[in-house]
Homo-oligomer: A and B are copies of this chain.
Amino acid sequence: MTHSETLVLDGGAVADRIREGLAPRIARLKERGVVPCLATVLVGDDPASATYVRMKGNACKRLGIASIRVELPAATTTEELVAAIRGLNGDAAVHGILLQHPVPPHIDERAAFEAIAAQKDVDGVTTLGYARTAFGLADFPCCTPAAIMAILAHYELPVSGRHAVVIGRSPILGKPVSAMLLNADATVTTCHSRTADLPAIVRLADIVVAAVGKPKFVRGDWIKPGAVVLDAGYNPGNVGDVDYAACAAHASAITPVPAGVGPVTIATLLKHTVDAAEKFGA
């Protein structure tokens, strides 16, 4: 049953291509006196979240994008977080705002996301951003879904008419990636914790997107021979949502973890920040 030649979808190569496209655009912006700037907002002291935020800041720095890191204590209230975001909305030097998910459970995350101005919502987390994604109108779709689409496009993997099965239905991953695949003319099935006989559904898929947040959740014998597998998971110990070795044995193409979807997500965030600076920057 092993697929003869499994293509490893190298996120680093896709991210490099995106960054190469950005470098001259950033240079042109600077000639106009505009330095693209991403503000990240981190609430609490979850070490994984702190690592992601640091990676995003470092990625900005390497490309000549400015970044502002707002760090708020775990006891921050929804109102305080919303006020901090509104402050960034009003700061003309800031072009993009990223609120690191998840926030502590006492905070109303939806209210905090909604506080982000549409022009600065570079991670597509507002309801309006989601709707515009679903209707194919978004300036800034969510970065991880956009990264998955970028990987498919980079490797010229066909989507139209294919059956895509998305495992997960979160507002910033499962739902928007389902919408983007649908708009790219895939037949899309969205699965979740209440799905009956998930393995049977996944076995129908030409394209599998795993967005569950459970290590090695997707098993090798769920993968139809020749399917394309995209792993949006990132769990402790550098492990994705997909049992990589077992799934790679069946897949025609698969993203590794790390170095798959993750770096493309970050490059997409940078791209959206540059897009925002070009479109709305002073």
Contact = CB atoms under 8 A, between A and B. Distances in A.
Contact of A187 (B134, B161, B192): B192
Q: How many copies of this protein are present in the complex?
A: 2
Contact of A131 (B127, B185, B191, B201): B127
A171 B131 CA distance: 10
Interface string A165-176: 000010100010
A119 to B, nearest CB: 16
Contacts of A171: 134-135
A190 B192 contact: no
A129 B134 CA distance: 12
B196 A163 contact: yes
A113 to B, nearest CB: 10
Contacts of A201: 163, 187
Contact of A190 (B129, B135, B182): B182
* Size band of the interface chain A makes with B: 20 to 34
A187 B182 contact: no
A194 B185 contact: yes
A188 B185 contact: no
A132 B191 CA distance: 20
Given A110-B135, A135-B171, A190 B188 contact: yes
A74 to B, nearest CB: 26
A160 interface: yes
A134 B170 CA distance: 11
15 contacts: A127-B128, A127-B132, A127-B135, A131-B131, A134-B134, A134-B175, A161-B195, A161-B196, A178-B190, A182-B190, A187-B191, A187-B194, A187-B196, A189-B189, A204-B204
Q: Which 9 A-B pairs have the closest CB atoms?
A: A131-B131, A127-B131, A189-B189, A185-B194, A187-B195, A161-B196, A130-B131, A161-B194, A188-B190
Interface of A: 110, 127-132, 134-135, 137, 160-163, 169, 171, 175, 178-179, 182, 185, 187-192, 194-196, 201, 204
Given A161-B195, A163-B196, A169-B182, 7 more contacts: A127-B134, A134-B134, A134-B175, A161-B196, A175-B179, A187-B191, A187-B194
